[in-house]
Structure 1
Amino acid sequence: MTAAPDRTRAPAAAPAADASSLPQGDLRLLQTALAQELLDSRIPARVAFTGHDGDPRVFPTHFLWTGHELVLGTYAGAYKIRAMRARPRVAVTIDTEGFPPRVLQIRGTATVTDVEGLVPEYAAAMRRHIGGAQAERFLSEADQPGLKMARIGIRPTWVGLLDFERRLPAALGGITA
């Protein structure tokens, strides 16, 4: 019998791409050292989506990068679930606070799946972002009978990467989209 794949761990990374030669929008930017560093960091992702009224919304969240998609977990009934099902195009940024800023931008399509109990990637993200006993305590309190969550998987369709050293925005004479 073959074991089910573990979707809570990223697969072995592909060889790092040379970021200097890749244009904004190129999915191979996800394979660069800087993108991998940001995807492996504890920095929350900020996810933008369009609400039912047509206005944009943004929420910060812990995430897990599987090597193919950014996975978030949220509790059933959340406004963002209904909105993303109706309008699945989203944008994400994972960026540093210090100078020079380092920024990973992802545009893609969100797929929302209902889950009974904890979303496995959500639990893995909480362990990575919060860590230790605090994460375990939070997860054990959340994992109660009848828990309903949603797994949000974001497949990148466009990737942007800025480091304000070698990859500057176009407005500063750098790379273009």
Structure 2
Amino acid sequence: MHPHEVAEILNLPGSRELLSRDITRLAYVAADGTPRNVPIGFTWNGTHIVLCTTPNAPKLAALRRNPAVALTIDTEVHPPSILLIRGRAELDPVDGIPEEYLQMNGSYRMTPEQRVHWEAEVRSLYTGGMVRILVTPAWAKLIDFDNTLPSAVEELVRARDARLPA
């Protein structure tokens, strides 16, 4: 997929709405060669999906070995909206707490007092810094069940329409 095609999909209103959510599912190949799919907070900066994790997270060794990843961001309603993204992960160790981490956790419902306590806990835990995982989208598909369907369902619709009289 060409970069301008990816950008067109990511700029659709439905994609922008999904890119403003809190959680994505990160799929990657673990160090033992088996697949993993983990929920993780994220933010979209217009160029990269930014994820943050602990420096000792097992996924980091796996991503160093094989940076190919897939992301799913979706809704919990019917029909769902689903944004599928494939790309490569770049690891960026950071001293302290990345601003993106504080942003991506800013939409959770917390009272101001809870927020102060949460930030203090985060700062006490991540004394060794964090790792930003930057995913550059190389492929994207928005499935909204109105304008777009999963490709296998699109195939079934075409086959059905070919069988029906005109």
- Structure 2 length-normalised TM: 0.83
1:166 to partner: Cα distance: 1.6
Which residue of 29, 33, 36 maps to 1:54?
33
Query: What residue is the counterpart of 2:46 in the other structure?
Result: 67
Q: Is residue 2:133 matched to residue 1:147?
A: no
Question: What is the rounded CA distance, in whole Å, between the counterparts of 2:89 and 2:115 in structure 1?
Answer: 26
Following TM superposition, by how much is the alpha carbon of 1:86 offset from its aligned partner in structure 2, in angstroms? Answer: 1.2
Distance 1:64 1:135, change over 3 A: farther
Read off the aligned partner of 2:30 and give its amino acid letter: G
| Cα gap change, 1:168 to 1:80, in 2 (>3 Å) | same
1:84-137 alpha-carbon deviations (Å, 9 max, x no partner) = 111101000001111001000000000111111112111110112455533442
State the match for 1:77 in structure 2: 56
Identify if the C-alpha distance between structure 1 residues 31 and 109 changes in structure 2 by more than 3 Å, giving closer, same or farther. same
- 1-side partners of 2:102 and 2:121: how far apart? 12
Matched AA of 2:101? Y
List alignment gaps of at least 5 residues for structure 1: 1-24
Residue 61 of structure 1 and its aligned partner are, at CA, apart by 1.0
Confirm or deny: 8 A CA contact 1:126 1:135 kept in the other structure.
no
Count residues in correspondence: 150
Bigger shift: 49-58 or 136-145?
136-145
For residue 158 of structure 1, report the CA deviation from its aligned partner: 0.3
Root-mean-square deviation over aligned CA pairs: 2.0
Gaps of 5+ in 2: 158-166
After superposition, give the CA deviation of every residue in 1:123-175 in whole Å (9 maximum; x if it has no partner): 11011245553344222211138332111110000001100122112222269
Check whether the contact 1:45–1:61 (CA below 8 A) recurs between aligned residues. Answer: yes
Alignment of 1:2-17 (within 5 A): none
Looking at structure 2, the residues matched to 171 and 114 of structure 1 have their Cα atoms a distance apart, in angstroms, of 40
Structure-to-structure mapping, 1:147-166, within 5 angstroms: 147-166=128-147
Query: Compared with structure 1, are the counterparts of its residues 101 and 58 closer, same or farther at alpha carbon in structure 2 (3 Å cutoff)?
Result: same
Q: Residue 138 of structure 1 aligns with which residue?
A: 118
Mapped pair 1:34 → 2:14:
yes
Report matched runs for 1:98-177 at 5 Å: 98-133=77-112, 134-144=114-124, 146-173=127-154
Displacement of 1:58 in angstroms is 0.9
- Structure 1 residues 165, 59: CA separation in 2 closer, same or farther (over 3 Å shift)? same
Which structure is higher in helix share?
A: 2
